Structure 1
Amino acid sequence: MADRTMPRDSARAYWEARHAEHDELTSGGHIGLDRAGNELFYAQRLGTLLSLIGDLSSPTAPLFVLDAGCGKGHFARALARCGHRVDAFDASATAVDHARDRGGGPRYAVATLDEWRSAWPYDTVVCVDVLFHVPDDEEWAAGLRNLASLVRVAGRLIVTDEDTGRRTPRGAHIVHRPLTAYRAELEPLGLRHTLSRPYGFRENRVGFHVFTRTR
């Protein structure tokens, strides 16, 4: 049975408050770390993310990248600086307003994971530390399937979670799901799991999972 301890409206209210009350890094990073710790946490994740996306972008043929659940836009701006054409969205209007004020190239919008639509598919869709903050299983699956639908053939979907071996709730705001749960949703849609890479940051057990669209 789906865990409904955190309805969508309550989750949105939680993130609105968190983005309003905390700075750019803490609001979307590790709430238990100080500023310096979050600087390191963001830098390490960004370095790994960029290595997974690759350096195939160019001024004449930039990669088309979606940052799903972008928060205040830290990763989206970094991807834009690296020459990629970036769309980014988040369910928090407070976070998106902050991201727009910072500018830096990405196109921002307010949407949930299952709401976002695009007229064109993306080369890469990234969703960093977002899906395990969706406690409801049906909402999680709907969001994941929608993200998959946005990836072009031979493109990649990059998501993050622990590979716990089983569904593992942690309080009202977090549910970690194993890689097998992601594969069960994505493989029927034509996305094959091609790589996992842990963060390797302190005690954090989350890592990147890369899925490549084969059809």
Structure 2
Amino acid sequence: MTSQDERRAFWEERLAADWTETGVGYRALGRPFNEWMYRVRREVFLERAGALDMDLTRARVLDVGSGTGFYVQAWRDLGVASVTGCDLTEAAVARLRRRFPGLRFERLDIADPGDTLAGADFDAVSCMDVLFHITDDDRYTAALESVARLVRPGGYFVLSENFLHRPVQRGANQVNRTIGWITGQLDRVGFDVVRRSPFLVLMNAQVDAGPVWRKTWGGTLRAATLTGPTGWLAGAALYPLERRLVRTRQESPTTEIMVCRRR
């Protein structure tokens, strides 16, 4: 299990060296492919967040694990009244403050945020592709408890996760947990699941698929993205199919987006 200091050092180094979609995305597939992948993520996020039952023009939003500011910008494009961001790393926060002058960004660990955001009362909190990087289960639960304290009753929590239907997968910097365990923790801290749907289908690691397909497709993606030009072509070829799949499938073998509401 990776310690908290090791986890922060890992992300400080990674984001200081590569503050792009590749730095926060599927690094092995290269930047051109990741840029196509993030086009799909953006479209799905805007559709789901834009459909929340609240007045976006008055909404106060917190984005957890802001990274490059991808979802901060998405919230701004939706026209929310205010966005606050936070990240585990100084590398990200310093750059976010330069990219979005006038917005508030804090360096904190959402599993142990202290009093940095004490008294805040957000209409929505987003936490995209962040929670599965918390490798300790107790800290994962603590992160959900922190989010629950920050969302007003009736407010929303938008997250992406790998919601496995197969046994948990544990790695040094990522843990893919079961859907039952995650939804159980969400319920315990006061969230009701409103909707769960694909965030991606083919353009990411097939963590919830069978071993043959998981290895076959993973190898195919890595081979197709060995160079920048071939990665761009692979992304361009998959993009229209991926857009269709995320809208027509009910389940995904990879990352899904979930909308929860605070009781």
- Same-fold status (TM-score > 0.5): yes
Map of 1:98 onto structure 2? 95
Greater fraction of residues in strand: 1
Q: Percent identity?
A: 29
Of Structure 1 and Structure 2, the greater helix share is in 2
Cα deviation for residue 120 of structure 1 reads 2.8
Corresponding residue for residue 143 of structure 2: 143
Amino acid of the structure 2 residue aligned with 1:151: V
Larger relative contact order (CA 8 Å, sep ≥ 6): 2
TM-score using structure 1 length: 0.89
Aligned counterpart in structure 2 of residue 14 of structure 1, from 2, 10, 16: 10
Which residue of 2 is the match for residue 24 of structure 1? 20
Taking structure 1 as reference, are residues 199 and 11 closer, same or farther at Cα in structure 2, changes over 3 Å only?
same
- Equivalent residue, structure 1, for 2:31: 35
CA distance in 2, matches of 1:134, 1:188: 18
SS of the residue corresponding to residue 192 of structure 2 reads strand
Query: 1:180, CA displacement in angstroms?
Result: 1.5
| Equivalent residue, structure 2, for 1:193 | 193
Q: Deviations over 1:51-95 (max 9, x none)?
A: 12226422xx2x111110111212112312332110100011001
What amino acid is aligned across from residue 10 of structure 1 in structure 2? Answer: E
The number of residues matched between the two structures is 206
Residue 256 of structure 2 corresponds to 207
Cα distance in 1 for partners of 2:173, 2:132 equals 8
Q: Describe the shift of the 1:203–1:50 C-alpha distance in structure 2 as closer, same or farther (beyond 3 A).
A: closer
Correspondences of 1:44-193 after superposition (within 5 Å): 44-54=40-50, 56-58=55-57, 61=58, 63-84=59-80, 85-103=82-100, 106-114=103-111, 115=113, 117-165=117-165, 166-169=167-170, 171-193=171-193
Conserved 8 A contact 1:86-1:105? no
Q: Using the alignment, how far apart are the partners of 2:195 and 2:67 within structure 1?
A: 25
CA distance in 2, matches of 1:33, 1:206: 16
Q: Which amino acid aligns with 1:11?
A: R
TM-score, with length taken from structure 2: 0.73
- Structure 2 Cα separation of the partners of residues 147 and 178 of structure 1: 20
Amino acid at match of 2:138: E
The Cα shift of 1:106 comes to 3.2
User: If you compute each CA radius of gyration, which structure gives the higher value, 1 or 2?
Assistant: 2
Distance 1:201 1:188 in 2: 29
Q: Deviations over 1:139-184 (max 9, x none)?
A: 1111111112211111111111112133211x31110112222222
Please report how far the alpha carbon of residue 129 of structure 1 lies from its aligned counterpart in structure 2 after TM superposition: 0.5
Q: Could you tell me how far apart the structure 1 residues matched to 2:159 and 2:105 are?
A: 19
Contact 1:73–1:96 (CA under 8 A) maintained in structure 2: no
Measure the CA separation in 2 of the matches of 1:197 and 1:118: 32
SS in 1 for 2:164: coil
Question: For structure 1, which runs of at least 5 residues remain unmatched after alignment?
Answer: none
Superposed displacement of residue 185, structure 1 = 1.5
The two structures, once aligned, show a CA RMSD in angstroms of 1.7
Question: Structure 2: where are the runs of 5+ without partners?
Answer: 205-253
Distance across 2 between alignment mates of 1:193 and 1:23 = 32
Q: Is the 8 A contact 1:121 1:152 kept in 2?
A: yes
